[in-house]
Chain A
Amino acid sequence: MLDIDTFSLILILSGLILLGAVGFHYANCSNMVRRKRREFESLSYALEQKIFDLEQEVVDLQMQIDKVDEQINSMEE
């Protein structure tokens, strides 16, 4: 049978291992969140650029359509 000091030491070591596991889990999760956030930011930046371009193109197309509409109306009158 283990004596009291050895048993206490084992318990304290177990506690330290648990704390280490918490630290490891925290570091893992933080890394994953940071990586995902970076991915999202780069994707978001690229998409926002494309969205800006698309908005310009949509406005241009709308203006072209309005112009063609005007021409059609003037031809039909």
Chain B
Amino acid sequence: MTVPLIILGVLVVVTLFSFRSISLNKINTLSDLTRDKQAVKTQYDYLVRRKADLEAELAEKEKLLTALVSSQQGPRIKTASEMRIDEDSEDERVSNLLLSMGKISLEENEKIKKKMDVLKMDFLTTSLALGFIDSELSQKIKKDQIRPKR
């Protein structure tokens, strides 16, 4: 009677001890992992902040440099590349072409641009619909003049 009771008592003690050590081991490992993760995250956050700071600094210095350049050179006309003419849409190119040909006035140009949104048509069709150009010119521009640059 006594021996099984002693064995059971020993087993209970061993069980409790094992439970405790297993749990402690788990907690220690998890806290180590959390600490390592935090360290990596801290480094990442630091680099993100540093990058943002450097970008702001660079923007500020570029602004300063631009101001210095313009103060030394005086006002100048922007180049085509600065104005991004090459990136203009086809509508923009048609608009510029018609203006340079004298087929439409600036007022008409503005009017066409406003109506484009309403009519949901391109510049050429809108100007044709509003009667600022004739169909012959429209066809000519479509066929010969306006080719998207590739």
Measured CB to CB, the nearest residue on chain A to B72 is A75
Known: A32-B26, A50-B44, A51-B43. A15 touches B37 (CB 8 A): no
> What DSSP secondary structure best describes chain B's contact surface?
helix
Stretch at the interface among B58-66, B77-85, B110-118, B135-143: B58-66
Q: How many residues of A contact B (CB 8 A)?
A: 39
Total interface residues on B, CB under 8 Å, equals 39
Binary contact track A47-67/B, C-beta < 8 Å → 1, others 0: 110110011011001101100
A72→B60 CA distance, assembly (Å): 12
Chain B residues in 8 Å Cβ range of A76: 68
Are B23 and A19 in contact (CB-based, < 8 A)? no
Q: Which of A's residues lie within 8 Å of B, judged by CB?
A: 4, 7-8, 11-12, 14-15, 18-19, 21-22, 25-26, 29, 32-33, 36-37, 40, 43-44, 47-48, 50-51, 54-55, 57-58, 61-62, 64-65, 68-69, 71-72, 75-76
